């Protein structure tokens, strides 16, 4: 090989390495910048995944709490519905007792107005009143207030009959 060929080869190599150096000067900052961006995005992704996991735990706890509250409210609703039904039955019984009392009062006042004959007919309604009283007592044994109310209404009706 001649000296000129060696110099040409050296010049070509020099030109090649200068081009490589120029490319590297442009690419290396980009690669480093991209690496930094990827690292930041990876860190943010990990933070977001942690946040989502914590959020899911909170959602699960909230769902559990809501389910418990719903269960409790359903139980309370059932209890209240039962109580409403009991009170409606008691109301019906009260109405029957008060109707009976009013009938007895009317019968007593009619018997006083119309003489002894109607009085004896009205006295026949007393067993019916007692029977209603017994039925109402059987249905509401658990309710003390109800027993007191029925007893007092019966006493009032007896007083009304006597007077």
pLDDT at 36: 96
The three-state secondary structure class of 6 is helix
Tell me the whole-structure pTM to 2 decimals. 0.43
How large is the C-alpha radius of gyration of the chain? 50
Burial grade of 154 (CB within 10 A; 0-12, 13-18, 19 or more):
buried
Q: What is the mean pLDDT of each run of 10 residues along the chain (163 residues)?
A: 76 90 90 95 96 96 90 88 88 85 76 54 58 58 60 66 58
């Amino acid at each position: 090989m001649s000296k000129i060929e060696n110099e040409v080869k050296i010049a070509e190599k020099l030109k090649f390495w200068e081009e490589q150096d120029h490319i590297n000067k442009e690419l290396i900052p980009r690669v480093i910048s991209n690496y930094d961006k990827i690292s930041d995005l990876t860190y943010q992704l990990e933070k977001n995944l942690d946040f989502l996991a914590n959020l899911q735990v909170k959602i699960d706890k909230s769902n559990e709490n809501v389910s418990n509250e719903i269960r409790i409210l359903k139980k309370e609703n059932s209890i209240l519905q039962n109580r409403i039904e009991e009170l409606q039955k008691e109301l019906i019984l009260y109405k029957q007792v008060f109707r009976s009392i009013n009938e007895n009062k009317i019968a007593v006042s009619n018997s006083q107005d119309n003489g002894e004959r109607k009085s004896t007919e009205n006295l026949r309604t007393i067993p019916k009143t007692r029977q209603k009283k017994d039925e109402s007592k059987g249905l509401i044994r658990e309710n003390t207030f109800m027993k007191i109310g029925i007893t007092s209404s019966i006493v009032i009706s007896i007083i009304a009959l006597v007077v």
